[in-house]
Structures are given as C-alpha cells and as structure tokens.
Amino acid sequence: MIKQMPAKTSPSRIPPNSLLFEKIIPALLIMLGLVTLGLILFAAGVLLGIIQF
C-alpha cells in the first residue's frame, strides 16, 4: 500500500485555505482601492474648484 504524502506548498505559491490570503488580503485590496478612488475624486474636486479645501 502506497502511503499518501501531504502535498508540499512551494513558497512561491499562495498557500490554500489561508485566512490571510483568502479573507484579509482581498478585503484590504478592496478597501485600499476605494480609499484611493475617494482621494482621487477628492483631489479632482479640489482641482476643479468643486470642493473648497
């Protein structure tokens, strides 16, 4: 009987079932993207004189 060895994860691959990469990183990316978009719109508003800053 061949004993099944656990699959070895390469350090260059995102580990499966990782809380960090499955939940935290996607949430952070979405949050950072929204903040960036907000800041760009804010800066554009200041530039166009719509927002007094």
Partner 1 sequence: MSINQILPFLSTAIMLGFTIYVFQRFFVRRNPAFLYWGIGLAMFCAGSFAEAYLSLAWNKSVFFIWYLFGAALNAAWLGHGTLNLLVKKSWVHVVTVALVAGSLFATYLMLQAMPKLDTAVFTTDKPVSEQYGTKALEAGQAAPAGAQTMTTTYRGREVTAVRGLLPLGTPVRLTTPFFNIYGLFTLVGGAIWSAYLFWRKRVMPNRVIANVLIAAGALSIGFASTLTRLGYGQYLYLGELISAILMFVGFLYAAKPQTDEELIQKRVPASAD
Give 46's contacts (C-beta < 8 A, 6+ positions apart).
Answer: 53
Q: Which is nearer to partner 1, 6 or 31 (CB)?
A: 31
Q: Give me the residues that bind partner 1 (CB under 8 A), please.
A: 10-15, 21, 25-26, 28-29, 32-33, 35-36, 39-40, 42-44, 46-47, 52-53
* Distance in angstroms (rounded) separating the CA atoms of residues 10 and 22: 17
* Distance in angstroms (rounded) separating the CA atoms of residues 8 and 39: 42
Q: Which is nearer to partner 1, 3 or 53 (CB)?
A: 53
Q: Which is nearer to partner 1, 6 or 11 (CB)?
A: 11
